[in-house]
């Protein structure tokens, strides 16, 4: 039998890191076993669904390279893949459960149920619904309806014995049936709840392994009861540990950004992303610029495989030592047996380290291609870029080295792409390095003349020219090199000065020095 796994996101917002980790494990398991990975849209809760939210979810999967074999935009012979379009199947299941006595129509009001809960609490007992307002016959249902009561359908859960599940991660799980309530599976308006819909769909779509977050473990008894009552074969269950907050055992939530910003590494990542967005003139949407959301990493220039590699290790380990895996190695080596039971803490600093390593290992041509869109978005290069952009950018990235940790970091070197007369100066650096030192202007004038005659104009020859100039003037290199950097780049820091000048070229370097000198106040 072919392995079939699924991930069923609700269209209520952007892709959450924890959800993607779950999807990744499902995808890896299916790929390893030459099976199928399905994407199904869980939109049974119409009040919470946001139609526009599905597009970024699907885009996120495409960006990560987590392709799905059946589902939205792909199709398949087990569709439709939207739960809102499968109501007839759910209704048939409800009627079968009612006919077999595994479910019943209930007409209790919210107040009546609460009164029973309060009474049980006062007596020091666990709440067990009396089923007082259950409709045994159609006549009962008509009588309750005539009283103005709205009826729901509840499961008639067993009150003796226990359920035993062999979870592929948690081992043997035992649940006393008496601890389960008579859960509602169909609302008064006829719409069905998730617990019924997911069971019916998993069966209809041939899902063999339900791999999901441990928060669904408490749902499993009622779902197994539905499966058994409908005569379905049970899939294998595997409940993954949740992804925890940085340095905490609490579950990571996309709604707690303010809290996470108290974590230094988390805050630094957010600020870095906001800086990149600002330079691209993007409006910072807090729903997106949140390191708990996958879209954040795409927008600031992470590599999909670096993010997936890190997420793989949030709850899974090969041998406790090895951390780096190609996508092919992930598929080959992944196993549910090596998934831990304990929650894994999300560590922004470690994630950044994965990205940094992956970025430095990226071939120069690929790194250049990933950075060009950020320069285009900031209006620094044309679309499409001219023929000089690629070679120039490749040189910049080589000189910058590990300073470019993500593609958006290329915007730190915007000065190379600005017209000489549009160079933006750091005011404090300009004042400190060019205005205050009394000899700075004259030294720059003299060196500009020397620079204009340097041939060939490469880093080694420029360096030799500067050293010769420093020796001839009887000064220290620090007396001019800082002023030279600010004059040619507008900034106080950057990669090697000589590599910088080589990339700019003779004419631009000399022109920028002259423009900077022209900005100086009269002596």
According to DSSP, the β-strands at 344-345 and 243-244 are parallel
| Spatial distance between the Cα atoms of 57 and 308, rounded to a whole number of angstroms | 16
Q: 274, 277, 177: which is closest to 225 by C-alpha?
A: 177
Q: Which residues pair with 75 in a beta bridge?
A: 71
Q: 331, 397, 324: which is closest to 366 by C-alpha?
A: 397
According to DSSP, the β-strands at 236-240 and 209-213 are parallel
Q: 305, 275, 224: which is closest to 408 by C-alpha?
A: 275
Q: 237, 208, 170: which is closest to 33 by C-alpha?
A: 208
| Spatial distance between the Cα atoms of 10 and 83, rounded to a whole number of angstroms | 10
| Spatial distance between the Cα atoms of 342 and 251, rounded to a whole number of angstroms | 12
| Spatial distance between the Cα atoms of 220 and 112, rounded to a whole number of angstroms | 27
| Spatial distance between the Cα atoms of 491 and 148, rounded to a whole number of angstroms | 75
> Helices 497-504 and 478-489, interaxial angle, to 10°?
40
How far is the first Cα of the chain from the last one, in angstroms, to the nearest whole number? 86
Instruction: Tell me the two tokens of residue 280.
Output: 């691209």
Q: Which residues pair with 175 in a beta bridge?
A: 163
| Spatial distance between the Cα atoms of 109 and 97, rounded to a whole number of angstroms | 22
H-state helical runs in 214-326: 220-230, 257-260, 264-279, 294-300, 304-312
Q: Is 432 a catalytic residue?
A: no
Instruction: Tell me the two tokens of residue 440.
Output: 């700075």
Active-site pick, 249, 251, 254, 467: 254
Instruction: Tell me the two tokens of residue 100.
Output: 């077999």
Q: 39, 36, 84: which is closest to 59 by C-alpha?
A: 39
CB 316 within 8 A of CB 338: yes
Alpha-carbon distances, residue 421 vs 248, 383, 508, 519 (angstroms): 51, 22, 10, 11
Q: In what order do the strands lie in the sheet with 152-155?
A: 134-135, 103-106, 152-155, 184-186
**What are the phi and psi torsion angles at 3 (to 5°)?**
-70, 130
Task: Return the DSSP state at 246.
Answer: T
Q: Give the SS3 label for residue 271.
A: helix
Q: What is the DSSP string of 451-462?
A: HTT-SS-SHHHH
Query: Catalytic positions, please?
Result: 254
């Amino acid at each position: 039998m072919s392995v079939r796994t699924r991930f069923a996101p609700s269209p209520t917002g952007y892709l959450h890191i924890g959800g993607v980790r779950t999807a990744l494990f499902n995808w890896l398991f299916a790929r390893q076993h030459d099976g199928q990975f399905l994407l199904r849209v869980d939109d049974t809760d119409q009040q919470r669904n946001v139609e526009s939210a599905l597009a970024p979810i699907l885009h996120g999967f495409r960006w990560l390279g987590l392709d799905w074999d059946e589902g939205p935009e792909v199709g398949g012979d087990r569709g439709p893949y939207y739960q809102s379009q499968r109501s007839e199947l759910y209704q048939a299941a409800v009627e079968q459960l009612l006919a077999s006595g595994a479910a019943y129509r209930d007409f209790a009001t919210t107040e009546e149920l609460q009164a029973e809960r309060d009474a049980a609490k006062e007596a020091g007992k666990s709440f067990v619904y009396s089923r007082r307002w259950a409709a045994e016959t159609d006549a009962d249902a008509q009588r309750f309806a005539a009283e103005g009561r709205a009826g729901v359908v509840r499961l008639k859960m067993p009150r003796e014995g226990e359920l035993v599940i062999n979870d592929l991660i948690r081992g043997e799980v035992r649940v006393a049936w008496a601890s389960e309530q008579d859960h509602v599976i169909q609302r008064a308006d006829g719409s069905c709840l998730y617990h019924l819909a997911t069971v019916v769909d998993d069966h209809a779509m041939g899902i063999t392994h339900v791999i999901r977050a441990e928060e669904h473990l408490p749902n499993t008894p009622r779902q197994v009861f539905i499966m058994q009552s409908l005569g379905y074969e049970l899939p294998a269950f595997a409940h993954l540990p949740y992804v925890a907050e940085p340095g905490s055992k609490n579950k990571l939530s996309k709604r707690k950004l303010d809290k996470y910003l108290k974590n230094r590494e988390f805050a630094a990542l957010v600020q870095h992303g906001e800086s990149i967005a600002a330079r691209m003139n993007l409006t910072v949407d807090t729903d997106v610029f949140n390191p708990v959301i996958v879209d954040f990493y795409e927008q600031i220039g992470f590599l999909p495989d670096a993010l997936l590699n890190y997420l793989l290790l949030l709850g899974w380990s090969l041998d406790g030592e090895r951390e780096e895996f190609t996508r092919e190695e992930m598929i080959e080596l992944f196993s549910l047996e090596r998934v831990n039971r304990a929650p894994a803490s999300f560590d922004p600093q470690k994630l950044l380290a994965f990205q940094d390593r992956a970025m430095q290992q990226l071939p120069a041509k690929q790194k250049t291609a990933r950075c060009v869109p950020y320069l285009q978005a900031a209006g620094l290069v044309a679309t499409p870029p001219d023929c000089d952009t690629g070679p120039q950018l490749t040189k910049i990235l080589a000189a910058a080295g590990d300073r470019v940790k993500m593609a958006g970091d290329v915007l730190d070197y915007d000065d190379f792409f600005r017209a000489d007369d549009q160079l933006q100066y750091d005011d404090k650096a300009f004042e400190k390095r060019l205005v205050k030192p009394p000899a700075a202007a004259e030294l720059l004038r003299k060196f500009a003349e020397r620079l204009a005659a340097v041939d060939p104009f490469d880093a080694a020859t420029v360096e030799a020219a500067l050293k010769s100039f420093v020796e001839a003037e009887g000064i220290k290199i620090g007396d001019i090199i800082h002023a030279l950097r600010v004059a040619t780049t507008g900034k106080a820091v950057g990669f090697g000065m000589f590599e910088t000048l080589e990339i700019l070229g003779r004419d631009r370097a000399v022109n920028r020095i002259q423009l900077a000198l022209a900005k100086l106040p009269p002596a």
